[in-house]
Structures are given as C-alpha cells and as structure tokens.
Chains A and B, each alone.
Chain A
C-alpha cells in the first residue's frame, strides 16, 4: 500500500500541470487588453498610462508558451501572483480564506453523514412502509431544491423574521476583537481559534453564523448519502450471509448492526469522501448567499472580475486538495473493505 501511495504522489505534479495548462489555454484566448485589466487597480490610471507599454512590460504579447513558462517559474518560486480581487498575493488570499471553507465543510459534513446514514438505514429496514416513504419524500424535496433558493428561505426565516442566525462569518464586535493583538490565530478556523483563545463568546458567535449555511448544505446534500445508504443496505439485506447470520440465531439487532451495516457502509464511505471534497470546493453559492468569507466566494468573485492570477492559483489549489482527498478516499476504501488491495 505504501508503494501505491508513493506512486499516486508521483502523479500529482503531472495532473496539476495538466490542470494549469488547460486554464492557461483558456485565458490566452482573451485579448491582451482584457488580461491587462487585472494589473490595473484604479480606473483613473487608465487615462494617464499607455496600455500598450504596459502590455509590453508584462510580456502579454509574448507567445503563450513563454508566458506559461514564466508563470510556472513564478509558481515554483512560491509566487502565484497578485490577487486583484483580494488585494493581496494570491497565496495569502487562498491560505487566509481556505480555513473558513474547511470549517463550514466540517460542520456540514457531520450532520450530512450521520443523518444520511441513519435515515438511509431506517429507510431500508422499513422498506416500502410509511417511514421509508416519508424519509424518501423529505430527501427528494431537499435534493431538488436549488441551494440558493433554500438558503434564501433559511435567511428569511432565521434572519429576517427571527434574527437568530445572521449571515456573514462573525458579528462586528467579534471581528473587531479578532483584529486586535489580544486574539491569536492558530488554525484560521474561527470556532477552534476562539476556543484556543478561551473566548467562548466569540465561539458561540461564530457558531451562530455557521448554523444557517450548515442547515442549507445539510438538507441539500443529505439526500445523496441517504439514497446511497438505503440502496446499499437493501442490497446487503438480500445477501445470503444475512440469511446465514439469521440462521445462526443472531438477533435482528446484531444482524443489522454487525453484519448488514458494516457491509452497506463500504459504498457510503466512498461517496462521503466525494461529498467532503465536493463541499470543500463547492460551497461557492452558499458562501455567496450567506455573505461568508471563504475560498468559494473568493473564487466566484475572481471569476466575475477575470482575476486570472487568483483563478489559476485557486484552481491549482483545488486540484491539489482534490487529488490528496481522493487518495485518502482510496486508501480508506482498502482499510474498510478487506477484499480491496491497492497495488
């Protein structure tokens, strides 16, 4: 297995090169003037400067391959460029925002997986009975809801009407404290940092801001895990070894928990891994709706403004995360299922 992991790591740079090349080719289709826009942070300057001179200066008319080589050289020296949207280096912009997305993902994935598998198993045990139908309707409704619609509902109810769960990452008073030297940042995740700083008030404030997006993501993503669990569980319950277990004289509880569930969880584990990865890179809409700082909303903004340094850097970063994540999923697959051997 260790060789398998090493081999996968050897592929990592090749895949990343491929990703960056595709993005670069797409961007080279834009005109030099459009690409130059990312270098100009003040519209006033457009009047006073000679655009062609700037294009010459940044080498935007060079052949694409040379420009790509230049970008690659910068990447290797740790320079991903200047983020026009973030008004800081791309590298810093990503590292500062990523923990927020991780935090949202962690808080969402726990209820998604716990509720999804629980409901899925219940649904399978009560196959074609009222509870099964209820759970399935509940989950299909969630699945068919666009997350921006459901997110707006949540905002309307819990923010506009009840004022329980406001949008954003933190209240103003809390973010003011964060800026002072009293608050030290350890992980970049607000809930964890506030606990490490022994600021329970900030912890609960951060939590309050998380609940809305977490409910939205949970309800929208739950159906997938539920349905996978349900169908996998139904399949396993038909298996001969379940009949064997019953014939041994095991109680129904042991048959379900020990024999059926463990086998049914194998496909669920893979799908859960995909869900985590999907959430990490796919919280764009939810972060935007709830006005949260995060990598998703950052990328959305960068795409709107054609901030190609940020897009290239962010894509590279997502590629990296996805590859590592998939590797973890594959390895855990071999750990859960003794029949799988990674070679």
Chain B
C-alpha cells in the first residue's frame, strides 16, 4: 500500500432534518452518515458495501459536496474539500467524477452524446478546442461504443450502452478519482459483467482510483482491493478483500457474506438470518447500532458504542466481541476460482 493518501474523510457526518407538522418544524434527524472516517490510496479500488439505506450513496455525494456535509471533513490530496469556496469547488470537481446508478435518468435527454461527454472538457478547459471532438470519439471507442454515437441522443441507446456513455463522460476530463455509485446495479447480469470488466480495464489504462459503492458483495469482491462495510450510517469493518472474505470479524459482515448465493446446488452453507428490519436511521439503536439484529449480542453492546479499532494489521472492526460469529469455511474463496 502506498504511503500517500488520495482521499481521506475525517468524522464525516450528514444528518437530514425530518420536518413534521403544519409549520414544518424539525422534529428529528435522519443520521444518514454518522462519523465515517476512511482513507483511499492512489491506484486502489475502495469498495463501500451495505444494505440499501445505510448511507452509502449519501457518503459518495457528500465527498463531492453534491450534498453538503453536516460536519467532519474530506481531504483530497491534503486539501480540505469542505472549506472550498463555491468557485473553487467547481474547479475541484475536475479531480473527482461520478458514475451514477441509473443510466436512463442520469443523461440529459436533450443533449447529444458528444456534448454530454465534451461539456466537462469545455468547462474545465481540458484539451485544445479543435481536438476535443477527436478525444470524445476516441473515448467512445475506448468504452466500446461506435465513434458515430457522437451525434446521437441518449434515448437511442440501451441501458448498458448508456452506462458506457456515463463512464466516458466521467473519464473525459481525466479525473484522479472516480466514484461509482451503484454503477452496475441497474444493469442486467450479463451486461453487468461487461461493464465491470470495462471499468477494470480502464482503471489500468488511465491509472484511476475507484471508490466503488455497491450493495452487491460479489461485484465488490471481484473489483475491490479494500472494502468498507457500512450499517445505518456507521462503519462496521474496513479491511482488504482477502481478509474480509476469509476472516470477517464483524458479525454483520459475516451474516452478509453468508447470504451471498453460491452457484453450486450441493453446497450447503449455514446462512445466518438477520431477524427484523433495519432500524430507523432517525432513532438508531443505542450502543452498537447492530445489536438489535446481532446473533451474538451481549449486554455491553446495548449501552456502549464500539469504536473502530485495528484488530489486526489493516483490519479495522467496530465490535466489542470481534470474531465471535465466524463462518465455518471460507466459502466464497473456495467456490470462486477468480480470486
């Protein structure tokens, strides 16, 4: 792992007000992202996983300040993003680009593909003006589209093709970091693998760093070097892919991994079923947020909030009793030859 840090969040927090009544008074707060700190190193793919509603996407957008954080800070190459003025912020966004989940709604229907991809270059002054069309056409071919897509409108493309346009758009201004927010969740499985492979290829070619947000463990496992597991706006566990899938220490991670389907009918795993729903982020449980659903919860978990502690090298866990719940066999690794 490199010494330098590309992106670092420190106690990043985003609370959304809950307004009720005739006078729309704030009666509570949705704690979407609560005190999240992590680091992304140049050249790696950092994955963020968690159930829907755990604050993954909010976290991604807070980093770019598409949503203003409530508190905490974001450092990009040692610059504090949260203190940038609005004009500095616009220029700063050249460094980080996002790929969004829904390829159908995230492209402006009234713009041609060429202008969608090229607009960022114009705004940030990337490349000579005369050269831009050529760059865009080259990019289109790089992401596996025909160069004549340049003059067409987004509605003429399929979901997978549109996501390729979204990727080309993000690449056009050569960012250092790409935040992929559920970038493949809306695509069907066959297309999904194509896009994942494309992203992996482009990463090598353009020396990119990815922040990959997903709820799909198998996708994350395939693509990410290090993974952070989130639950109800909090970090549960951060570690490398190998450690996470072999030796997960947090009971939540263990239950998530045990729920991944295995394409072998004779293979029986002891799936750990989590009972009940995810608690409301407006009134999260006291102590450890996971204690209401944790199979191995104890008294201490209800009162004391566990800190994120480095239990072993490169393995951070927020649990009072890490490793209590374990998977008998490191099943994912044995059943998958790609790792």
Contact = CB atoms under 8 A, between A and B. Distances in A.
Interface in B94-113: 94, 97-98, 100, 102, 105-111
29 contacts: A241-B105, A241-B109, A243-B66, A244-B100, A244-B106, A244-B107, A244-B169, A245-B108, A247-B64, A248-B97, A248-B120, A248-B169, A249-B90, A249-B91, A249-B93, A249-B94, A249-B123, A250-B120, A251-B90, A251-B123, A259-B111, A263-B110, A337-B109, A338-B109, A338-B110, A338-B153, A339-B109, A339-B153, A339-B155
Given A241-B107, A241-B108, A263-B108, A248 B155 contact: no
B155 A254 contact: no
A334 B94 CA distance: 35
A246 to B, nearest CB: 6
For this complex, into which size category does the number of interface residues on chain A fall?
Answer: 10 to 19
A247 B123 contact: no
Contact of B155 (A246, A259, A338): A338
A304 B177 CA distance: 74
Q: Which 7 A-B pairs have the closest CB atoms?
A: A249-B93, A240-B106, A240-B105, A248-B120, A241-B108, A247-B98, A338-B153
Interface string B55-70: 0000001001010000
Interface of B: 61, 64, 66, 90-94, 97-98, 100, 102, 105-111, 119-120, 123-124, 153, 155, 166, 169, 173
A248 B119 contact: yes
Interface in A234-267: 239-241, 243-251, 254, 259, 262-263
A250 B110 CA distance: 17
A248 B107 contact: no
Nearest to A263: B110
B330 to A, nearest CB: 38
Most buried by A among B91, B92, B98: B98
Interface of A: 239-241, 243-251, 254, 259, 262-263, 337-339
B76 to A, nearest CB: 14
Given A240-B102, A250-B90, 11 more contacts: A240-B100, A241-B108, A243-B61, A243-B106, A246-B66, A247-B64, A247-B66, A247-B98, A248-B119, A249-B91, A339-B155
B123 A241 contact: no
A251 B119 CA distance: 12
A243 B108 CA distance: 10
Contacts of A338: 109-110, 153, 155
Nearest to B90: A249
A244 B124 CA distance: 15
B66 A248 contact: no
Contacts of B105: 239-241
Nearest to A236: B108
Contacts of A250: 90, 119-120, 123
Contacts of B123: 248-251, 254
Contact of A249 (B107, B111, B124): B124
A102 B200 CA distance: 63
B74 to A, nearest CB: 15
Given A246-B66, A338-B155, A263 B100 contact: no
Contacts of B166: 244
B175 to A, nearest CB: 10
B166 to A, nearest CB: 8
A248 B94 CA distance: 7
A246 B120 CA distance: 10
A337 B110 contact: yes
B97 A259 contact: no
A256 to B, nearest CB: 13
Contacts of A249: 90-94, 120, 123-124, 173
B158 to A, nearest CB: 15
Contacts of A263: 108-110
Nearest to A339: B155
A246 B67 CA distance: 11
B310 to A, nearest CB: 33
Nearest to A266: B110
Contacts of B98: 244, 247
A145 B61 CA distance: 46
A267 to B, nearest CB: 13
Contacts of B90: 249-251
B268 to A, nearest CB: 41
